[in-house]
Amino acid sequence: MVLAVGFALVTIAADQPGASGGAAPFLQMLAAVSSVIMLGNGLVQLWSSWRTSRAPRRAPTSADIDTAKDILAGLVAQQWREEPVLRSLCDPEPMPLPWRSTERRELVDRPEIIAKGTVAFPGLGMHIEDMARNFRALNCRRLVILGGPGTGKTTLAVQLVLELLRTRQPEEHVPVLVSAARWDDRVHPRVQDWLASSVATDYPALRAEALGPGIPEALVSRGELLPVIDGLDELPEHARIDMLRALNRSMCENDQLILTCRTEQFAESVDELGDVLRGAAVIEPQPMCPAAAADYLQACLPSVPRPAWSEVLESLRTGTAPALAEVTSTSLGLWLVRATYIATRADPAPLLELGRGSAAALQDHLCDELIPALVSTRPPADAPAQLFRPQHAWTPEQVNRWLTYLCRQLAKNEEDTRDLAWWHLARHAPNRSVRWWSGIGAGAVICGLFAFAGGDLIAGAAVGVLATLAIVFMTGSWFTEAPGHADFRLRGRLSDLVRMMGAALLFGALGALVGWVTGAVFMGSTAVGVAAAVQVGLLSGIGFIFVFGLVRWVERPATDASARSPRSTWQADRNLTVIRIVSGLVLGAIGATIAWKAQLSWSMGIVVGLLGLLFGLMLGSHHAWLAYNLTVPRLATRGSLPLRAMNFLDDAHRLGLLRTEGPYYQFRHVELQQHLARELAAKKSRHREPTPLT
């Protein structure tokens, strides 16, 4: 772009009679400096790729692995510690959900392979400590957690992760929970490669240079991880079969595993594959009896509950409310009743009425009431430290509408219907009009300033059109780019910094040579050649540092960042954008200095500065924050999302409607996501129905 702008300016200046004074030398110097910088950048890329291809990589040591395991264990515990609080798993007491070994022999390997003696997991009042102890007693420490929708499979997996971490010995594997929906066999045919990529993405601190290279890959290849793969049923049927086949083929004797899946989908996959998950125990939840559910709800009630609660609990115990008994036989149903009626102190009469009808209708009713209940019982907090209260005030109608929009966008992604990333918002919305209007606006400003500076209106229009086209065609990739971050650490990267400074000196020398040739040969003056050599050389060296060197040195993809949450990756990419703006301003200042030396008007210097800023924003390969900020205002005008979309997503997480998995958001309850999707489909269907004639 710099070469195109420089060439256009030189051509325009050559055609203008009044440009033979100060403008021509200015444009010549600008073109010379930009040419040197672009040439130098190409040479640096060739040299860097050649050195990278020849340099050997240091293998991680045992001490590196042990340190990485301790770091990872702390990160996983920190990530999932909030989950029991958000789901009220242990307040006032754990939900009495019994789990036991499955009785479906076609789904499980031979008992003598799974455990010595009798297979564990007898159920009946088992606590999480007993569950972790029985898991460690398995021969291969492999476990499959089955169950229907809302039976607490993920809840049990999270509790197991936390308990195994709490009691972990140094030599034991580190449990890491990952979503099966994120596996793409086309990108990662080997499950181990996918696990390494997931760990590197979700826990980027493992990429710290102090730990050495290839730590996530080494942890997986050496069998130091206990992958807890959640939601196998969220994969398409062929992908489920491929994952089971890949696990059976790739697991060694000491490889451990915990897998969750809906029973029906797991049975179909095992039948199609013709094989079970080898060496794995398989457990299923036992339905909670109505009496146990009633006792749990009674323990959650205030000391003086509404009088209607006694009739509700009695109907639950005696079986006269079969729909309520069916819904409360799962952990999700119990939590929905608690969140919508106990926490809000609402009249439980609808539970009694709907509890005698359809269980599906009752669950839909609870999902309808969930968002208003959470918004009303968790008002905005006064301090950021209150993790389970939102920071901003939203109405239930707004939360429902915006979450429904997110459901619609997730449904468009057939490969992954769970993971929602803030940078995906730009991918889901059309961007052509945004790019054109941004380009036209920037071009109009540059054209106006150029004309105001005393330049020709046609010349200003040409520069404006060139800037517009540059924005339109060069920003198209922004809307599909992943976030990055700026890394200024010197430790382990001093050699890169030295090479960058050496390259800057080299390009400064190259610029000095070009300047001397331009002045001494083409202008016929040795004095002019020396002056041009100093100016072009100095500006070429400084320009390379701030245009290419600085951004390339500090820019790292988000997988290398220390951030672990959506908000922190958003902030990291924003900070990287600030670095680009600074680089662009420095480049603009260099151009303005050249304009001042050429005795051009101050407004011409502003034009050059704006062009430098524009080029600075184009640098690098991570523009997710810029694309987000170009997209969200348009979504806000349509009512799809608020203008403060990140604040809303954070508050939805605090409300317990969304959860985070690394840099991604997910609906905390798939049933709520499916309910909102059904409501949206029903609304669209009603809109399509023709109006009856009267």
Tell me which residue has tokens 């420490």. Answer: 141
Q: How far is CA 376 from CA 137, 339, 641, 686, in A?
A: 45, 11, 21, 30
* Count of C-beta atoms within a 10 Å radius of residue 639: 11
Q: Cα–Cα distance between 639 and 187 in angstroms, integer?
A: 36
Q: Cα–Cα distance between 617 and 155 in angstroms, integer?
A: 44
Q: Cα–Cα distance between 108 and 270 in angstroms, integer?
A: 9
Confidence of residue 548 (pLDDT cuts 50, 70, 90): low
Residue 58 lies in a domain: no
Q: Name the nearest CA neighbour of 543 among 45, 42, 43, 38.
A: 38
Distance of CA 234 to the CA centre of its chain: 19
**Same domain? 226 vs 275:** yes
Q: Cα–Cα distance between 333 and 361 in angstroms, integer?
A: 13
Whether 651 shows a pLDDT value over 50: the answer reads yes
The whole-number pLDDT of residue 176 equals 92
Confidence of residue 561 (pLDDT cuts 50, 70, 90): very low
Least confident segment among 245-259, 559-573, 597-611, 648-662: 597-611
* Tally of CA atoms within 13 A in the half-sphere of 165 that contains its CB: 26
Average pLDDT over residues 495-500: 59
Q: Cα–Cα distance between 108 and 593 in angstroms, integer?
A: 75
- Which range of residues forms the domain containing residue 658? 396-423+629-688
**Same domain? 308 vs 410:** no
Residue 177 lies in a domain: yes
Average pLDDT over residues 490-516: 58
Whether 670 shows a pLDDT value over 90: the answer reads no
Confidence of residue 694 (pLDDT cuts 50, 70, 90): very low
**Same domain? 206 vs 139:** yes
**Same domain? 158 vs 278:** yes
Whether 413 shows a pLDDT value over 80: the answer reads no
Distance of CA 184 to the CA centre of its chain: 16
**Same domain? 306 vs 185:** no
Q: How far is CA 321 from CA 187, 293, 311, 314, 337, in A?
A: 50, 13, 10, 9, 14
**Same domain? 250 vs 370:** no
**Same domain? 261 vs 343:** no
Burial 388-399, CB ≥16 within 10 A → b, else e: ebbeeebeeebb
Least confident segment among 217-221, 407-411, 446-450, 556-560: 556-560
Peptide bond into 92 cis (omega under 30): yes
Residue 119 lies in a domain: yes
DSSP β-ladder status, 225-230 and 555-557: unpaired
The sign of the dihedral angle between the CA atoms of 380, 384, 388, 394 is: positive
**Same domain? 277 vs 330:** no
Three-state SS letters, 509-534: HHHHHHHHHHHHHHCCCHHHHHHHHH
- Give 691 or 34, the one with higher predicted confidence: 34
Which CATH number do you get for residue 678?
Answer: 1.10.10
Q: Cα–Cα distance between 180 and 261 in angstroms, integer?
A: 10
Q: Cα–Cα distance between 157 and 145 in angstroms, integer?
A: 8
Residue 102 lies in a domain: yes
Last residue within a domain, chosen from 285, 320, 340: 285
The whole-number pLDDT of residue 523 equals 55
Q: Is the Cβ–Cβ distance between 576 and 627 less than 8 Å? A: no
Q: Report the SS3 class of residue 143.
A: strand
Q: Cα–Cα distance between 77 and 206 in angstroms, integer?
A: 15
Task: State the chain's mean pLDDT as an integer.
Answer: 76
Longest Cα–Cα distance of the chain, Å, equals 107
Whether 641 shows a pLDDT value over 90: the answer reads yes
Torsion angles phi and psi, residue 188, rounded to 5 = -125, 85
Least confident segment among 403-417, 547-561, 651-665: 547-561
Q: Is the Cβ–Cβ distance between 1 and 41 less than 8 Å? A: no
Confidence of residue 553 (pLDDT cuts 50, 70, 90): low
**Residue 421: partners with Cβ closer than 8 Å, 6 or more residues away:** 566, 663, 664, 665
Confidence of residue 431 (pLDDT cuts 50, 70, 90): confident
- Give 663 or 342, the one with higher predicted confidence: 342
Last residue within a domain, chosen from 250, 285, 320: 285
List the beta bridge partners of residue 261: 146
The string of DSSP letters for 206-239 reads GG-GGG-TTHHHHHHHTT-EEEEEE-GGGS-HHH
Q: Cα–Cα distance between 515 and 533 in angstroms, integer?
A: 4
By the 10 Å C-beta count (0-12 exposed, 13-18 middle, 19+ buried), 644 is classed as middle
Burial 248-280, CB ≥16 within 10 A → b, else e: eeebeeebbbbbbbbbebbbebbeebeebbbbb
Last residue within a domain, chosen from 253, 285, 317: 285
Whether 387 shows a pLDDT value over 70: the answer reads no
Residue 123 lies in a domain: yes
Chain segment 91-146, per-residue pLDDT in tens: 556 666 778 888 888 998 888 888 776 656 765 555 788 888 889 988 889 999 99
**Same domain? 112 vs 214:** yes
Residue 12 lies in a domain: no
Helices within 124-277 (DSSP H only)? 128-136, 153-166, 191-202, 215-221, 237-250, 263-273
Q: Name the nearest CA neighbour of 296 among 320, 330, 347.
A: 330
DSSP β-ladder status, 174-179 and 225-230: parallel
Q: Would you mind telling me the total number of residues written for the chain in this entry? A: 694
Average pLDDT over residues 410-439: 80
The whole-number pLDDT of residue 693 equals 44
Whether 401 shows a pLDDT value over 80: the answer reads yes
**Same domain? 102 vs 176:** yes
**Same domain? 185 vs 274:** yes
The whole-number pLDDT of residue 83 equals 60
Torsion angles phi and psi, residue 401, rounded to 5 = -65, -45
Torsion angles phi and psi, residue 180, rounded to 5 = -65, -25
How many domains does the structure of the chain reveal?
A: 3
Least confident segment among 106-120, 159-173, 587-601, 674-688: 587-601
Q: What is the DSSP letter of 420?
A: B
Chain segment 54-68, per-residue pLDDT in tens: 555 566 777 888 888
Q: Is the Cβ–Cβ distance between 259 and 280 less than 8 Å? A: yes
**E-only strand ranges, 564-669:** 658-661, 664-667
**Same domain? 414 vs 328:** no
Average pLDDT over residues 363-380: 91
Q: Cα–Cα distance between 266 and 277 in angstroms, integer?
A: 10
Average pLDDT over residues 15-25: 47
Determine the number of helices (DSSP H) and then strands (DSSP E) in the chain. 29, 10
Which two structure tokens, joined as six digits, stand for 373? Answer: 């209940």
